[in-house]
Amino acid sequence: MDNFAGKVAVITGAGSGFGREFARLGAQLGMRLVLADVQQDALDATFAEVSAGGAQAITRRVDVANGDEVDALARATLDAFGSVHLVFNNAGVGGAGGLVWENTERDWQWLLGVNLWGVIHGVRAFTPLMLEAARRDAGYRAHIVNTASMAGLLNPPMMGPYNVSKHAVVSLTESLYQDLSLVTRQVACSVLCPYFVPTGIANAHRNRPSELANETPPTLSQRVSRALSEKAVNSGKVSAQQVAAMVFDAIREERFYVFSHPHALGAVKTRAEDIVTPRNPTDPFAERPHVREQIVDALKG
């Protein structure tokens, strides 16, 4: 797909981070936008900005962990614009880190609900609409972008639920790619694997549903994990705006893997070598032993 003007893009997590940048860039390219987010004020801010620039847009407050709400989003898209060409299954949350055995059932439900089930619902709700459009029009082209993470290709310590959710998104999107190749050449997909990019995801707990809140305070390891995560994310030098441009380039080129920090692929290669050698997992702090020492000391309180 290389002509975006007039095309319809659905963006979850549109209130901040990558989602807001996808909306901004889509608006600049003349796209019609369907903006979804669970945080109403942030969603309204994105809508106001793109609308002021002349973009046609609608908004829906959506909890992507709820399949019925994503189905309703798909119906609203067709009601408003009659078609869909791009779907960014982008909504995601961080947090719930710490030593993996200390994560509660509610931690897992929250992380997997948004990060994994949100993508599953998006694929399930929108792919059939795209395939039907492709059957009606030989010139129709569409693309699905699922936001994963470099944590979908690696397993950093004290990030268990997040790692699991993002590995599943990578697997889901690779499966989607293979399945689409059996039935169409008109609908493509990509998986976005960003590294540390300042997006606000480290503060995603602000939107955690009250029914999934923990009844006990965070453990020491969870407090350490949150501090490390916030520091790493906020220190990122690649911006969400730059990543959005990378994603649109990948859509134009029908390129599947999108990496914000290609240099991090060295660690992915090491992990693959661990598997095929086989050998035990390589220490992620092998080249920075002082970091491991700091974490170990912090976990001792």
Residues 45 and 15: beta-carbon distance below 8 Å? yes
Which one of the listed residues 162, 177, 195, 257 is annotated catalytic?
162
Annotated active-site residue 162? The verdict is: yes
> Residue 76 is which amino acid?
A
What six digits make up the tokens of 284? 């992620």
What six digits make up the tokens of 32? 């019609």
Q: Which helix (H) or strand (E) segment is 105 a member of?
A: helix 105-112
d(CA 95, CA 139): 43
What six digits make up the tokens of 241? 């705006």
Residue 192 has, within 13 A of its CA and on its CB side, a CA count of 31
Residues 11 and 37: beta-carbon distance below 8 Å? no
Distances in whole angstroms, Cα of residue 173 to Cα of each of 134, 144, 154, 265: 20, 9, 16, 18
Nearest to 41 by CA among 206, 172, 195: 206
Residues 43 and 36: beta-carbon distance below 8 Å? yes
d(CA 48, CA 156): 38
The full length of the chain comes to 301
d(CA 259, CA 253): 14
Question: What angle do helix axes 240-253 and 17-28 make, rounded to 10 degrees?
Answer: 60
Q: Which residues are catalytic?
A: 162
